[in-house]
Amino acid sequence: MRLTRKQATQELILDTAERLFAEHGMFAVSNRQIGEAAGQGNTAVVGYHFGSKADLVRALVRRHTAEVERGREAMLAEVGGSAEVRDWVACLVRPTTDHLAALGTPTWFARFGAQVMTDPGLREIMVSESLASPSLQQTLDGLNRCLPSLPLDVHLERGDIGRHLIVHMCAERERALARDAPTPRATWQEAASGLIDALVGMWLAPVSPVEGSRTAEEPA
């Protein structure tokens, strides 16, 4: 019984923290405020269950990554050794959008992720947890194989652009849905298709020649 009550309290804290972080940002929300918003009489309850804010953020990220990982693994099984950029980009986008769709409305995970990625102290948690995903590494390897002639500096730049597009476009759609505001696409599945189109176009866009550029096949 105590274990069940403890787990329920932890889930309540995680739900509350994710919502507050998504709506107000990482700096504006303290562990004390999370405990109060979760209806906990002990204002130190967040630290008791999760430790520091960084530990809490890591727990929030990890409770979503398992579902995203399963979705990406299923897509990779279908993609196989594809030479199509679109297939690998879809493996980057759809596991997250499918997960957000499954959560229902409102959700806060996409906006929480956007807030974390703009925080210099917490961003590395999101990045390290993502890079620990075997399916994500396999997806990035597959995408890289499709773009061998892309100059390395451009490749790295477009990787950054793609990451920001995925994070912030999902956050923008989630924010609009929470406010019952109009969205360009009716569903998360359609939103994913539009995002994939944009990202494929970015990856395959022409490159202005720059003296000294290296290809992705050349060592740094």
- 71 neighbors 98 (Cβ within 8 angstroms): yes
Q: Specify the pLDDT at position 140.
A: 96
What's the pLDDT tens digit per position in 156-173? 999 999 999 999 999 999
Q: Provide the Cα torsion 39, 116, 138, 195; round to 10°.
A: 100
Tell me the CA end-to-end span of the chain in Å, nearest whole number. Answer: 56
3 state SS of 40: coil
Element spanning 34, H or E:
helix 31-37
Per-residue confidence band for 218, with pLDDT thresholds at 50, 70 and 90: low
Note the pLDDT of residue 209.
Answer: 80
Residue 59 to residue 50: CA distance in whole angstroms: 8
Query: According to the model, what pLDDT value does residue 42 have?
Result: 83
- What is the average per-residue pLDDT within 190-199? 98
pLDDT, position 214: 57
pLDDT level of residue 211 (50, 70, 90 thresholds): low
| Residue of 112, 84, 131 lying closest to 21 (CA atoms) | 112
| Stretch 5-27: mean pLDDT | 94
